[in-house]
Amino acid sequence: MSNTNTIRLGKSGLQVTRIGFGGIPIQRLSEEQTIRVLHRAIDGGFNWIDTANGYGTSEERIGKAIREYPRSDVLVFTKGTGWDPKTLREQIELSFERLQTGYIDLYQFHIVPNPEMWQTMEKNGTFDVVREYRDKGMIRHIGASAHTREAALAVVEHPEIEVLQYPFNFIVEEEGMEIVTACRKRDIGFIAMKPFGGGALQDAPTCIRFLLGVPDVVTDPGFEHIEEVDEVLSLWKEGAPLSEENKRTIEQLRRELGTRFCRRCGYCSPCPHEVHIVSLMTMETLVKRFPADRLSEDWIADAGRSIENCIECGECEEKCPYDLPIMEGIHRGAEALRRALQAAG
């Protein structure tokens, strides 16, 4: 693909298509299905794939899918949640083993939770681990992902961070643009995660056209079906601006979701009664995106059981900067998990 169809991803210098392939939903597919979907995206023109150590079978299947292409034709981005040197090193080595590649184009510190942990990671040698792989040429560029404003703003202050991945869509436009602007000032590439609101937004034309209308921003929607890939490829190549209908959809969804859209900022936590608030608030989306066998994992099961601890004290709702009806949301999330597990047998 020529550079006329790509943009520079900040100071990393990587030339990327405005849309890449997000690696979460393929966990639900068979290996054969995964390879077909990935090949459709690559053959259609997307030149980068984003995954993570924590995305189940995703890295392994991506590694198998990209073997049929020259390595330089597909940029591979992955992430690890290790917040200490030993854990992160183990995750990086596992990523190399799964991806079957000699180098990773962009390695990201995954879900940096807050400025305090970021400072700890810098001091305890965690950052040094990634530097070591970079100096060996095994990691080409360094980035991070964050879900909270405070964590993102702390991360972008680091001179070696070249790319930030952060939630951005038309529902969270205002807070997202603050982070986009902070990245632009520092020449840091910006990847808009959750372009479909983690599954809450179903209108692909509106979601994709909105993001394509924001200069310098690239995005990595997750794909499960070839038809989804084809639709987004078409929208990308069409390059049309938001239509009047799209704009009406945005206003409608902002009204509908404005009072109950969890941004995963974590201000509501920790709960004094150990309810897993954020996990339960986003459980409906998780149930839609994860395969049934993953819903029985310990952290998901623990979140589901934690609803029993809720005494509806309302402390979480008092802390929420978005005035979300959290008590209603966590009960709805627990019920969604119960039904999904029941259906899975």
User: What's the confidence (pLDDT) of residue 294?
Assistant: 85
Report pLDDT for 148: 85
| 44/339 Cα distance (integer angstroms) | 37
Residues of the chain with pLDDT under 50: 1-4
In this predicted structure, what is the pLDDT of residue 260?
Answer: 63
Q: What domains are there in the chain, each with its CATH number?
A: 3-243 (3.20.20.100), 277-344 (no CATH)
What pLDDT is attached to residue 290? 79
116 phi, psi to nearest 5 deg: -65, -45
Residue 3 pLDDT: 34
Residue pair 176/167 in contact (Cβ under 8 Å)? The answer is yes
Give residue 26's pLDDT: 93
Count CB neighbours of 33 within 10 A. 15
Give the separation between CA 246 and CA 184, rounded to whole angstroms: 27
Threshold 0.85, pTM exceeds:
no
- Residue 6: which of 73, 68, 102 has the closest Cα? 73
φ, ψ for residue 95, nearest 5 deg = -60, -45
Q: Which of 115, 99, 118 is nearest to 107 (CA)?
A: 99
Query: Under a CB-based contact definition with an 8 Å cutoff, are residues 152 and 183 in contact?
Result: no
Segment 264-316, tens digit of pLDDT = 667 799 999 999 999 999 898 788 777 888 888 899 999 999 999 999 999 99
CA distance 51 to 26: 10
